Amino acid sequence: MSRLVVVSNRVADPRKPGAGGLAVALGDALHTSGGLWFGWSGRTAEASAAQAVQVQRAGDVTLATIDLSAADHRAYYLGYSNSVLWPVFHYRINLADHEAGDIEGYRRVNRLMAQELRPLLRADDLVWVHDYHLIPLAAELRALGCAQRIGFFLHIPLPPHTLLAAIPQHAWLMRSLMAYDLVGFQSRTDREHFADYLLREAGGQALGDDRLLAWGRTVRARAVPIGIDVDEFQALGRGADARETLQSMRETYAARRLLIGVDRLDYSKGLPQRIRAFRRLLEAYPENRRRATLIQVAAPSREDVGAYADIRRELEGLCGAINGDFGELDWMPVRFIHRTVARKRLPGLYRAGAVGLVTPLRDGMNLVAKEYVASQDPADPGVLVLSRFAGAAEQLTDALLVNPYDIAGTADAIQQALQMPLQERVMRHAALMRNLRTHDVHWWAREFLHALMDRAS
Ligand code: GDG
């Protein structure tokens, strides 16, 4: 069996509590093959000390990391990855900061990663590269003579070619993807955008069987939607912390119906629109006054990228106005929590919610939607209100799908969720759970790796 080598911007110890579903799933696949996980350590160091690989054992998995110099980190991570690629790939071309986005730094770090990784590779390794930070990694490895099978998975959306073309280096980026054997996307839509790009911008053609030809190279492209580890998450839900969280929420909000939102504080998550939809709910359906409470957790994220500070201020203003305009001595309509909630408490928080609000303006997949569903009591489940623009909407068609830009429409869907009869809630939840179980995170890793290993295709 080939050894699996995972490469991602950050590396997590899969054994650590709170590592998260992705780390657990990749840890699983790595464990089976005695694999290696390579990436940035999360630390910045003096330029001279930045390049030594630090190797650590985590059971039978090897974790290998490098530090980055402060300048490289700024250019590659804060700059090009998160100020250019993240906004444009989420269709927000107006938020891209091409001044901050340093393509040279992005190339430099990808080249550095390839140089440091190459001596660690064996001839028959399977290499699986993750996400937008590392698009050119395979091309850099190939330039160093690496002939291993290399796959890439994009966790975020791929926009239509007309938007992608706003990135000055779009052709270089897409051409870099051709150095992989297999490119995986979260949804059929993203995969179509890739094929479309190659056909329209690069004179490419579809060869059938997932194969696409462009710039004289062939690559396979597939939609392989990521899932969660349902069993792991449900076990977390049976734990003391989750149960205690649920209990205390039920006591504190005994007279209320709770709407729950849990997101990284990110402009892609549609938070201002969600708060406005809640306001609209209180205006259009006044029976929810004194009754419905929205708890919005917004975990701090990428605070050194400019666009993220603006959204926090906007949200605090919107929430403050609702509480000022509608609040009563014994009822605060919105609780906005700009902090991270411990992972082991999340299932309890989700379960306390009669409605789960997952309304991104654009999202590769959105795992919160899946975690919310997995946390519900099947005999009396809450209702998921889900943006049609999340990758998850291709799979979770039994949620109430909304257009998050349509504030009135979203408020109507929330009202429908709050009033949904038990029988319908149970049926929808059962259908959603079937999907979660069939397409869990282990399926995702297996499906991708089988396709990558498949030499016949
Ligand atoms: C990218 C893509 C894709 C959130 N708040 C807290 C917390 N979280 C956890 C959730 C969930 C994860 O973070 C968020 O995952 P998402 O999928 O919702 O979003 P991104 O972080 O943007 O992830 C996304 C994903 O990659 C995987 O491919 O689905 O589309 O954008 O697991 O539970 N965790 C804790 N406290 C919080 O306050 N502990």
Please, how many CA atoms are within 13 Å of residue 39, restricted to the half-sphere of its CB? 20
Q: Which pLDDT belongs to residue 17?
A: 57
Confidence of residue 454 (pLDDT cuts 50, 70, 90): confident
DSSP symbols for 21-65: HHHHHHHHHHHHTT-EEEEEEEEEE-GGGTTPPEEEEETTEEEEE
Q: Which is nearest to 327 in space by CA: 269, 265, 383, 256?
A: 256
The average pLDDT across 262-282 equals: 97
How would residue 34 be classed by pLDDT, with cut points 50, 70 and 90? confident
Name the packing angle between helices 271-284 and 306-326 (round to 10°). Answer: 10
Return all residues near 240 (Cβ < 8 A) that are at least 6 apart: none
Q: Backbone phi, then psi, for 67, in 5-degree steps?
A: -85, 160
Tell me which of 25-34, 111-120, 341-350 is least confident: 25-34
C-alpha 386: how far from its chain's center? 15
Ligand 1 centroid to Cα of residue 47, in Å, is: 31
Share of the chain above pLDDT 90, in %: 85
Q: How far apart are CA 215 and CA 347, in angstroms?
A: 47
pLDDT digits (tens, 9 = 90+) for 127-162: 999 999 999 999 999 999 999 999 999 999 999 999
- In this prediction, residue 431 carries a pLDDT of 98
Task: Give me the active site residues, please.
Answer: 155, 363
Q: Classify 300 as helix, strand or coil.
A: coil
Residue 456 has pLDDT above 60, yes or no: no
What is the Cα–Cα distance from 351 to 353, expressed in whole angstroms?
Answer: 5
Measuring from atom 15 of ligand 1, which residue has the nearest CA? 367
Which pLDDT tens digit goes with each residue over 276-312?
999 999 999 999 999 999 999 999 888 777 777 788 8
> Amino acid identity, residue 427?
M
Tokens of 45: 């160091």
What pLDDT is stored for residue 457 in this prediction?
47
- 70-87: per-residue pLDDT in tens? 999 999 999 999 999 999
- Contact (CB, 8 A) for 170 and 164: yes
Mean pLDDT of 261-274: 96
CA of 369 to the centre of ligand 1 (A): 10
Across all residues in the chain, what is the average pLDDT?
94
What would the CATH number be for the domain defined by 230-438?
3.40.50.2000
Nearest alpha carbon, ligand 1 atom 20: 366
pLDDT digits (tens, 9 = 90+) for 1-25: 789 999 999 988 777 755 566 777 7
| Closest C-alpha residue for ligand 1 atom 10 | 368
Structure tokens at 21: 């579903």
Q: How large is the greatest C-alpha to C-alpha distance in the chain, in angstroms?
A: 69
d(CA 349, CA 251): 13
Higher pLDDT, 300 or 269: 269
SS3 289: coil
Instruction: Label each residue of 154-189 as H, E or C.
Output: CCCCCCCHHHHCCCCCHHHHHHHHCCCCEEEECCHH
Beta strand pairing call for 149-153 and 182-185: parallel
Convert the pLDDT of each residue in 403-443 to its tens digit: 999 999 999 999 999 999 999 999 999 999 999 999 999 99
Q: What is the pLDDT of residue 13?
A: 77
For residue 327, with 0-12 CB atoms within 10 Å meaning exposed, 13-18 middle and 19 or more buried, which class applies? middle
CA of 336 to the centre of ligand 1 (A): 18
Q: pLDDT at position 1, please?
A: 77
Measured in residues, the chain has a length of 457
Summarize the confidence of residues 364-375 as an average pLDDT. Answer: 97
Domain with CATH 3.40.50.2000 in the chain: 4-227+441-453, 230-438
Instruction: State the pLDDT at residue 20.
Output: 61
CA of 46 to the centre of ligand 1 (A): 31
- Ligand 1 site residues (CB inside 6 A) read 20, 155-156, 226, 262, 264, 297, 299, 340-343, 346, 363-368, 371
Cα–Cα distances (Å) from 286 to 45, 231, 323, in that order, read 56, 39, 15
Q: What is the pLDDT of residue 455?
A: 63
- 3-state DSSP assignment of residue 448: helix
- Residue whose Cα lies nearest atom 26 of ligand 1: it is 155
152 residue type, one letter: F
Q: Which CATH number fits domain 4-227+441-453: 3.40.710.10, 2.40.30.30, 3.40.50.2000, 3.40.50.800?
A: 3.40.50.2000
For the stretch 187-218, pLDDT in tens is 999 999 999 999 999 999 999 889 999 999 99
Report the atom number in ligand 1 closest to the C-alpha of 392. Answer: 29
* Full-model pTM: 0.96
Q: How far is CA 209 from CA 113, 119, 206, 218, 346, in A?
A: 32, 34, 9, 12, 40
In contact, 39 and 76? CB cutoff 8 Å: no
Angle at 341 between CA 338 and CA 344, to 5 degrees: 170
3-state DSSP call for residue 197?
A: helix
Query: Are 377 and 239 spatial neighbours (Cβ–Cβ below 8 Å)?
Result: no
**346-385 residues labelled b (16+ CB within 10 A) or e (exposed):** bbbbbbbbbbbbbbbbbbbbbbbbbbbbbbbeeeebbbbb
Least confident span in 15-24, 35-44, 397-406:
15-24
